[in-house]
Amino acid sequence: MTCFILPAHLQIELAEAGNVDLRDAIRTLLASATLRAQRATLTEAVQFLDLNAAQLRGPAGEFKAVHDVQGGDERTLPGVLRRKEGDGLIDDGAVNDAFDNADRTYDFYRDVLGRHSVDGNGLKLVSSVHFGRDFDNAFWDGTQMVYGDGSGKVFQPGALARDITVVGHEITHGVVQYTAGLRYRKQSGALNESMADVFGSLVKQHALGHSADQADWLIGAGILGTQLQGVALRSMKDPGRAHQLDRQPAHMRSYVDLPDDGNPRNDNGGVHINSGIPNKAFHLAATRLGGNAWDRAGKVWYDALATKLRVNSNFTDAAAATTASAQALFGNDVANVVREAWNDVGVR
């Protein structure tokens, strides 16, 4: 499972509108397709073949490393080791940003949720920067995080590794892989994307010490380039209003029913598009509960992800799972808030 921060359908729409060069979009799409095909079986292997993290990359205590792909492609991953656990800053901002944001994400999962790395057992967090040439994407490839430099048109140069919500989002795809393993299609895939946004936002809120009311609830705030006009890549508070091509719904009445037919225009059946609905449900629950969103809403969503959701879970399953987790962890009052949040986005 290769999960990209920028969906393929948006790359196509930008190219068709003349905002980016079609050749650049095609290069990105081809790289994405190659990686998706190469890594498609990893989540299935983890879920159904009992492969553990040690078999995939070797066991570790807390260990983070950042490599430099030096403009190479998937064949050169992970690249040249530039910074590892215990090292100080180096003379490459992308390396330092990727390392420091991975460190903040690791700390969030350990200190707030009691989880050590993506697998829960301290798997090495490996990142690679400077992937491709002006590559406008970041992704989890099934074993590590990878960040392009950005072209300046879709994303600002250096912004992808610098933005903590992007880094938290991609690492969370690894957490999903080792927990529910939500299949990357239709509603289960939209839940996969939403979980990555939820915890990407919470990592930022935790790092800044922001309460639910103080948080901006944006994924990729201020990192857009010259041709993608808006405040962020996605808004959990106002799905559909992050940028000029944003068509995320905030309610089931506007659900976009797309086929999962391999056509990049259809977003694996709408995984990035329809993730706005569960994103809004989380935002409603967290802001209504108040305080720090990671204290209650975040723990509820994590418990549901780690113990209740399954590979083909849909939105209704997620509503039931998070309500049950809220009841078990915090009692009736919190469970009622969670149930109402889902009701208010049309999921019952």
- SS3 at position 121: coil
Question: If DSSP codes are grouped into helix, strand and coil, which group holds residue 67?
Answer: strand
Whole-angstrom CA distances from 49 to 41, 120, 140 are 10, 18, 20
CB of 182 closer than 8 Å to CB of 188: yes
Select which of 74, 170, 193, 283 is catalytic.
Answer: 170
Report d(CA 344, CA 339) in Å as an integer. Answer: 9
Inter-axis angle of helices 164-178 and 186-208, to 10 degrees? 130
The half-sphere exposure of 208 on its side-chain side, counting CA atoms within 13 A, is: 18
210 is catalytic: no
Cα(251)–Cα(224) distance, integer angstroms? 26
| C-alpha–C-alpha distance, residues 7 and 5, integer Å | 6
Q: Verify whether residue 193 is a known catalytic residue.
A: no
The torsion region of residue 122 among left (phi > 0), alpha (psi -120 to 50) and beta comes to left
Contact 129, 69 (CB under 8 A): yes
- For residue 197, give the nearest of 89, 278, 134 by alpha carbon: 278
Which one of the listed residues 9, 173, 206, 272 is annotated catalytic? 272
Residue 129, phi then psi, degrees to nearest 5 = -120, 170
Q: What sign does the CA torsion over 116, 120, 123, 128 have?
A: negative
Catalytic residues: 170, 272
